[in-house]
Amino acid sequence: MHTPEILPSVLACDLARLSEEVSALGPDVRTLHFDVMDGRYVPNISFGQPVMRSLRAVWQHDIDVHLMIVDPARYASEFVAAGATSVAFHPEVEDEPLALLRRLRAEGVRVGVGVRPEHPLESVAPFLSEIDVLLLMTVSPGFAGQAFLTEVLPKVTEAYERRTEDGLAYRIQVDGGVTADTIVDAAAAGADWFVAGTSVFAAEDRAGAASALRDAAAGAMRTG
C-alpha cells in the first residue's frame, strides 16, 4: 500500500558536520528522522528547536520529528514552526492526545503516535483513525545503536492487519536497530517506514547503505 522509505536518524550522525552528513545521503532519501529527548521521558537528552532550525536550513526535503518528551503539547508546535513535516509523540505522557493530534494536523503536518516496545497496540487504538504514522519502537527509546527487538514483530503484523480491516492508511514505522538483516523481518511483518540511524551513518557510503536498505525492504515487503 505504501512504498518503502528509509528515514536516516540524525541522532546517529556527527552533529558537528550535520550539513555534510545529510548531504551525503543521496537522492533516494526524502525524509530525515529527528529524535527529540528531554531526559525525562527517556534517560537521555538529544537536541531541540535550534538544531532543528539549523537542519532545516540545509535540508530541503521532509523532516519527521519524534518527540520523546513529557508534555509534548507544550513544544510540538515549535517544531512545526521550525520546519517539521511530520510529528509523532508518545500519547501516554500527554493529557489530551486527540486534541494534540488534531491541532498539529491543522497546523499542516502529518501526525503520529509512538508505542514503546512493551506497550500493546491496544494502547493506541483510539488514535488509529486519526494518524498518518504509527511509530512502533523496536528498541527501548533513548539511544541509537541498540539491537532490534524481534518480540515487537507480532505487533507490526497486528498493526498491518488492523489497518486493512479498518480501511485505514497510516504508515507503519519501525524505529530502532534497523539493519540490512532486521529490515527484512520488519518489512515482511508489515512495516513500510524504516528509521535507520547507525546502519546508515556508520557506513562509509551512506547513500549506498540507505539504498541497500530500501531495496532489501522492497524485496521483502508484505503486500497482502
Closest distance to Zn ion from the beta carbon of 64 (Å): 8
Residue 114: contacted member of ligand DX5, Zn ion, none (CB under 5 to 8 Å, by partner type): none
The answer to the question of residue 35 lying near Zn ion (CB under 5 A) is yes
DSSP 148: P
Paired strand residues for 6: 194
The rounded distance, in Å, linking the Cα atoms of 171 and 187 is 12
C-beta of 104 vs 139, nearer to ligand DX5 = 139
Q: Which three cell numbers stand for residue 183?
A: 529490515
In the chain, the amino acid numbered 3 is: T
Exactly one of 175, 192, 210, 214 binds Zn ion (CB under 5 A); which one? 175
Closer residue to ligand DX5 in complex, CB, 9/86: 9
Closer to ligand DX5 at the Cβ: 66 or 155?
Answer: 66
Binding residues vs ligand DX5 (CB under 6 A) = 9, 11-12, 33, 35, 66, 139, 141-142, 144-146, 175-178, 195-199
CA dist 115 and 133 (Å) reads 11
- 90's contact among Zn ion, ligand DX5, none, with CB below 5 to 8 A by partner kind, is none
3 state SS for 125-175: HHHHHHCCEEEEECCCCCCCCCCCCHHHHHHHHHHHHHHHHHCCCCEEEEE
Binding partner of residue 52 among ligand DX5, Zn ion, none, CB under 5 to 8 Å per kind? Answer: none
The counts of H helices and E strands in the chain are 8, 8
- Nearest CB to ligand DX5, comparing residues 82 and 210: 210
Q: Which does 196 bind (CB under 5 to 8 A by kind): ligand DX5, Zn ion, none?
A: ligand DX5
| Residues with active-site annotation | 35, 175
Binder of Zn ion out of 66, 90, 163, 214 (CB under 5 A) = 66
> Cα–Cα distance between 201 and 62 in angstroms, integer?
18
